[in-house]
Amino acid sequence: MSLLLVIGAALSLSACRADASVSVDVRPDGAGTVTVTVALDREATERIGDPLVAVRTSDLTDAGWSIKRPAVKDGAVTYRGVRRFSSPEELATVLDEVGGTGGVFNSTSLAVDNGFGSTHYKFATDVQLTGSLEQFSDAAATKVLGGLPLGRLPAELKFEGANNPDAATLNLVVRLPADSGTTTSKWRRSAASGRPTAVTARAESTVHTWWVISVAGVGAGLLLAGVVVGLLSRRVRPES
């Protein structure tokens, strides 16, 4: 189960609103965290009932996710889960878990290239949305809901506003190390537009290791000074 499944589960109940954010935070060593936040409005919260029991998270915790206690404010609820990745290669696996069987994130890559005096970071992933909330269901949920991915017929979902482009949104936020601390890139797409959408999310940044450059510069300066002194000592000889 993915936290993104909460979107489909909530919006299948009525014409509510749900916003999901997936934040990728990369540390200088190429490890980091993926944070998934799903915010449901007041109506969606009322429909799902007790937020503490409405969403099962045991399989997520078993998979290594840290699931925070649902935050309820002014009748709305926010679910939040955090998953660590220990290497650039592992990030793709974690985003596969986030996207679920619908394949929201594809061909994910994170490259960390260490050069002389700098480290370059390059992130890319293909975000593919079908335009239907059924993408956020899965085989297990479909079986429980009588063969309907969201437990409702398409006509019922349309009547209740689940096809409204503003009904559900997906936000991707990527933060990479940079000379200024971090650089942030954002993408926002409707998950209920009624038509497929795709975007290749790319982000790059560079961290310069100034002390290495400075030491190298000082070393070059000292070497040049030594060469000059040596040449001068050969040209200027004391009279015998």
Give the residue-averaged pLDDT of 227-236. Answer: 50
Handedness of CA 190, 49, 96, 174 (dihedral sign): positive
CA distances from 48 to 43, 55, 72, 77 (A): 9, 9, 13, 10
Residue the block writes with tokens 């290749």: 200
Number of domains in the chain: 2
More confident residue, 204 or 78: 204
Same domain, 126 and 236: no
pLDDT in tens, 126-140: 999 988 776 776 665
Answer for the pair 150, 163: CB distance below 8 angstroms, yes or no.
no
Output the six-digit token pair for 173: 């936020």
Same domain, 58 and 168: yes
Parallel/antiparallel/unpaired status of strands 18-26 and 168-178: parallel
Total count of residues recorded for the chain: 240
Three-class SS state of 26: strand
Three-class SS state of 221: helix
Q: Where are the alpha helices (DSSP H) in the chain?
A: 5-11, 42-48, 51-54, 58-62, 88-99, 139-144, 154-159, 210-235
CA distances from 135 to 126, 142, 150, 220, 234 (A): 15, 11, 10, 59, 80
pLDDT at 223 exceeding the cut of 60 = no
Same domain, 27 and 117: yes
Same domain, 173 and 229: no
Domain holding 235, by residue range, is: 211-240
Q: Where are the alpha helices (DSSP H) in 63-103?
A: 88-99
- The pLDDT score that the predictor gives to residue 92 is 93
Same domain, 157 and 238: no
Task: Give the up-direction half-sphere exposure of residue 125: CA atoms within 13 A in the CB hemisphere.
Answer: 29
Per-residue b or e along 101-140, where b marks 16 or more CB atoms closer than 10 Å to that residue's CB: ebebbeebebebeeeebebebbbebebbbbbbbbbbbbee
Same domain, 199 and 119: yes
Report which residue type is found at 10: A
Same domain, 224 and 178: no
Same domain, 170 and 230: no
- The pLDDT score that the predictor gives to residue 15 is 53
Query: Any bridge partners for residue 198, and if so which?
Result: 128
Same domain, 178 and 224: no
Confidence of residue 175 (pLDDT cuts 50, 70, 90): very high
Same domain, 112 and 49: yes
Mean of pLDDT over the chain: 76
pLDDT in tens, 79-122: 888 999 999 999 999 998 888 755 899 999 999 998 878 899 99
Confidence of residue 62 (pLDDT cuts 50, 70, 90): confident
More confident residue, 21 or 213: 21
Same domain, 42 and 80: yes
Same domain, 159 and 170: yes
- Alpha-carbon distance 97 to 208, whole Å? 33
Three-class SS state of 71: strand
More confident residue, 165 or 194: 194
pLDDT in tens, 3-51: 665 555 555 555 567 788 999 999 999 999 999 998 888 877 777 677 6
